[in-house]
Structure 1
Amino acid sequence: MIPLALGQLRRRPAAFAGLAAALFLALATLTLFGSLFAADTTAPAGREAARGPGLTVIAGAFGEIAVLVAFFVVVNALGFALRRQHRELALLRTIAATPRQVRRLVRGQVAVTTLATALPAWAAGAAAGRGMLAELRRRGMAAPGVRVPDTPVPMLVALTVTLAVGLAASAVAARRITRTAPAAALTASSTEHGRTGAPRLLASAAVLAGGGFLLRLAATRPAGQVDKAGQAALLGALVLLVATALAGPFAARVLAAVLGAPIRALAPAAGWLADANLRGYARRLSSAVVPVALLVGLSGTMLIMTSTAEHAAGTAASGITADTDVWLRRTELAMLVCFAAVSTVNTLVAVTAERRRECALLRLTGATRGQLLRMLTAEALLTTAVGLLLGAAVAGAAASAFSTAVSGSPMPYLPVAGCWWIGAGAVALTAPAVVATGFWAVRGPATELAGADGD
């Protein structure tokens, strides 16, 4: 299976670019926090005490969130890489390849991609670890004598964890191609179920209940345990986003139906077609909406939590060390935004690129390139609006739980300017990614592209 995996990577490297970016970011981030942990464990025994939670706590808390978000992003990126080669994998099934062999092929692709990104990711993570440690020393959160040791252990641990995340993601992403009959798998890439299955909705409800439990845990933390309240609220937000992903097709279809009316009124032709496309392909819409919700939900949660902590520190002696805890939260926000931005761009580019044949068929029925680009722009705006609503709902729930723990009030301190910037950032990532890929999707002779498989 390894030669087959390498052949796919050589034949269509662009299909694995998103997966490579997600794995690179996961490897670099885990190397960064592994370096901090190694620096703390190898520091001199009699070192001067430092303010703040300590390097081991920082590395553990950040690394925990990084692994969970990395899994979320890698599953998404790998899913689109498999969709680009769905027909080839289905053909392998029809010539007697077993589901186990297909899963082994997918695992081989993940392993090869991870190893290909390892060296640059290690270099970036090690450099970031040294830079972050220097900043922590400057702020008094690390003792002056602490240094990152010259050992490959953090890099090897990061590689092991990333491979584990990637292989777990491959098991999730390969389910669709391996659980269906070979003949049915050949047509599965061009069809879509109209309804969200009951098992998926039940799983979403169960995960939603788990997220609610974490938010309740965050809200009931005493004021002196702000860090634990913040981690529980952030984990709760991530779990709520997983519930959103499970219920995504249903939620996206409902919200698209509500928000589609203004789009149809502003642009009757392109808006109507965009609205019909989004509601008719709810799973595709959900694939594009969930990363936007991830970006808005995580960054909004961290931003509002940070502002609430700063406000509480300035108005009451609540035990919050503003110049350390707030800086740590901002650093964590930057990390989460990087993961979410990579996932958003990867997904939107992949969703738009795989519609090249669809655009060619529309051109054959009389649509012009300009009309198609206007349709894609309207879809991008509607997708962003749905993602913003879902992400804002998650951020509001998580921030309310954190605010209850910090100040006793469920109303957090809302930084209006920062929230506007998050919304503007989501639009700036979404619309250009879709339109730029759309320019490529509508190029070329329509008669040839209409008979192609989308690659």
Structure 2
Amino acid sequence: MVLAVMLVGGSGLVVAGAGARDDLNGIMGLLVLSAAVSGFVSVFVVAGMLSLHVLRQRRTLALLRSVGMTPRQVKRLIMAETLVMAVLASTAGCVLALPYAVLMAAFMRMTGLAPGGVPVEVTPGPFIVALVVGLAVTLLAARVAARKAVGVGPLELFRESAAQRRLLPWPRAVIGMLALAAGVVLLFLVPEVKPVAAVPTGLGATMALCVGASALGPVALRGMGWLLGAVAARLDPGAGMLARASLVTQPRRAMSAASPVMLTVALACTFLFTVATSDAAAGVTRTGPSAWAAPMLVGSAVAYTVISVLNATAMTMAERAEEIRLLRTVGTKPRQLARAVCWETLIVTCIGTLLGTGIAVASLTMLGIAATGEPRFAYSLAQYAGLVLVCAVSGLAGGLAATRRARRGTLLPD
């Protein structure tokens, strides 16, 4: 939440500073798009993390219900906790927004995107937007999560089955279908709109498709996880079988970790390769510092999503301490458990990468038609491989660190 407000507020300060200079009008569109990407990433990640947090608190909420707490009190508890967190985090994020904006302006001057520099002044507008967006998104996500929490009954405390009873609740299915439909409509509009609006429309399509894929993802993840898990089980029978079983029984939990990977790949590839396609269509070759202009503008958002990959993986793995201890009591060795965690993380990363790549390819193909009249686009295998590698390493680090005590420590619960 702190980083989300910092991204939105800092990006707003840079856009406000560039808007005060007539000689920077040429890059205003790129800066606004970068700020929009940062805002969307922040909203997406914060909402996902809150939902995952409430999911992890299922047994705690059931315990509170068993001692007499009413559904209304549970909802008020979650909203109060979220409000306190949002206020504190938003305040800290606004403090960090100014140095972030100064750093971003310095990079723009170094890369030649704004040779004369971007003036960064403390104006209330970006801070107000960051505060309003941060508080509104957090409280809205908390309200949705609270509605899920109200459905947790006292008997949930005694339910030991790991299998989820409902793979796709109907509100989530409706949201997913609507988002996918909006994304498809925007894709077909990309070649039809004016050239200046093609890139924003393409990015909007990518964002809508990411929301739809995240909402409907558990269905796809169960099938893809079973197929990829079968390969892992063939290569490493014991650990691979455990990884496949976890993915099949808990696809929503696994999708919480796959969604940030999908978002990273889809948005970063769409933004970076759209710039590369536009340069290729115009016959422009960027060398030296200018080649880093586009990666720099989207780099902060990518770094934020990578942190969310680590965080989501750690959160989903940390709640499985009892499951890991149970496996140890029946003879599973710590090394086998570590391999199972690695297989599961790699499969989740692979699924997120495939979904994100598919979304990016669809958007870039339509953007290529709008720019050149042909369904092709420029890309960099090195940048793509780097994104996937960073996501995989982050997921592995989070998963192994979160399960270390359960794999190697005492068999008694905390």
TM-score, with structure 1 as normaliser: 0.81
Range 163-172 or range 102-111, more displaced: 102-111
User: Alpha-carbon deviations, 1:313-363, whole Å to 9, x = none?
Assistant: 227xxxx99999986643342133123112211110001111000001111
Per-residue deviation, 1:205: 2.5
* Counterpart AA for 1:282: P
Aligned-pair CA distance for 1:188: 9.0
Q: Does 2:5 align with 1:27?
A: yes
Report how far residue 115 of structure 1 moved. Answer: 3.1
Q: Helix, strand or coil for the counterpart of 1:219?
A: coil
3-state DSSP of counterpart to 2:357: helix
* 1:355 maps to 2:355: no
**Equivalent position amino acid for 1:33 in 2:** S
Q: Distance in 2 between matches of 1:176 and 1:168?
A: 13
SS in 1 for 2:409: coil
Q: CA contact under 8 A between 1:48 and 1:143: conserved in structure 2?
A: no
Q: Tell me, which stretches of 5 or more residues in structure 2 are unaligned?
A: none
In structure 2, the residue matched to 1:270 is 239
Change (3 A) 1:244 1:356: same
2:26 to 52, 59, 72: 52
Classify 1:139/1:281 alpha carbon distance in 2 versus 1 (closer, same or farther; 3 Å): closer
Contact 2:33/2:200, CA 8 A, preserved across alignment:
yes
Provide closer, same or farther for how the CA distance between residues 257 and 177 of structure 1 changes in structure 2, counting only shifts above 3 A.
same
1:101: Cα distance to partner?
3.0
CA offsets per residue over residues 223-268 of structure 1, 9 Å max, x none? Answer: x42xx32222122112111111111111001111222232122112
Deviation of residue 312 (structure 1)? Answer: 1.5
Is the Cα contact below 8 Å between 2:108 and 2:293 reproduced in 1? no
Is the Cα–Cα contact under 8 Å of residues 264 and 271 in structure 1 kept in the other structure?
yes
Map 1:230-309 → 2, pairs under 5 A: 230-309=199-278
Alpha-carbon spacing, 1:214–1:329, altered in 2? closer, same or farther (3 Å):
farther
Partner of 2:99: 127
Relative to 1, partners in 2 of residues 1:181 and 1:87: Cα closer, same or farther, differing over 3 Å?
A: closer
Letter in 2 for 1:239: A
| Aligned residues: CA RMSD | 3.0
Aligned match of 1:6 = none
CA contact (8 A) 1:270 1:374 kept: yes
Letter of the structure 1 residue corresponding to residue 201 of structure 2: A
Shift, 1:134, TM fit:
4.7
Structure 1: 5+ residue stretches without partners: 1-22
Greater shift after overlay, 130-139 or 342-351? 130-139
Return closer, same or farther for 1:322/1:189 CA change in 2, 3 Å cut-off. farther
- Give the counterpart of 1:369 among 290, 311, 334: 334
Cα drift, residue 285 of structure 1: 1.9
CA shift, 1:431, in A, is 1.8
Cα 1:136–1:381 change in 2 (3 A) is closer
Query: 1:36: which partner in 2?
Result: 14
1:434 CA drift (Å): 1.4
- Residue 91 of structure 1 contacts residue 186 of structure 1 at CA under 8 Å; is this kept in 2? no
Percent of pairs identical after alignment? 31
By how many angstroms is 1:27 displaced? 1.0
Describe the shift of the 1:82–1:311 C-alpha distance in structure 2 as closer, same or farther (beyond 3 A): same
What is the alpha-carbon distance in structure 2 between the residues aligned to residue 423 and residue 321 of structure 1?
24
* Residue 83 to residue 219, structure 1, CA distance change in 2 (3 Å): same
Q: Judging changes above 3 Å, is the alpha-carbon distance between structure 1 residues 160 and 199 closer, same or farther for their aligned structure 2 residues? A: closer
Q: Are residue 380 (structure 1) and residue 333 (structure 2) matched?
A: no
State whether residues 234 and 298 of structure 1, in contact with CA within 8 Å, keep that contact through their aligned partners in structure 2. yes
Deviations 1:160-200 (A, max 9, x none): 22111111111122222113444457749955126435554
Hey, what does 2:82 align to over in structure 1?
Answer: 110
Compared CA separation, residues 391 and 84, structure 1 to 2 (3 A): same
Q: How far did residue 296 of structure 1 move?
A: 1.7
Shift of 1:158: 1.7
1:442 maps to: 407
Give the letter for the 1:309 counterpart.
Answer: S
Range with bigger deviation, 170-179 or 189-198 = 189-198
Q: Is the 8 A contact 1:234 1:302 kept in 2?
A: yes
How do 1:389-400 residues align onto structure 2 when only pairs under 5 Å count? 389-400=354-365
Write the distance in 2 (CA, Å) between the matches of 1:361 and 1:94. 25
Q: Can you list the C-alpha shifts for 1:368-423, whole angstroms capped at 9, x where unaligned?
A: 11111111111112112211111111111111111111111112123222222222
Cα contact 1:83–1:189 (8 A) shared by 2? no
Q: Which moved more, 1:156-165 or 1:61-70?
A: 61-70
> 1: distance between equivalents of 2:160 and 2:126?
42
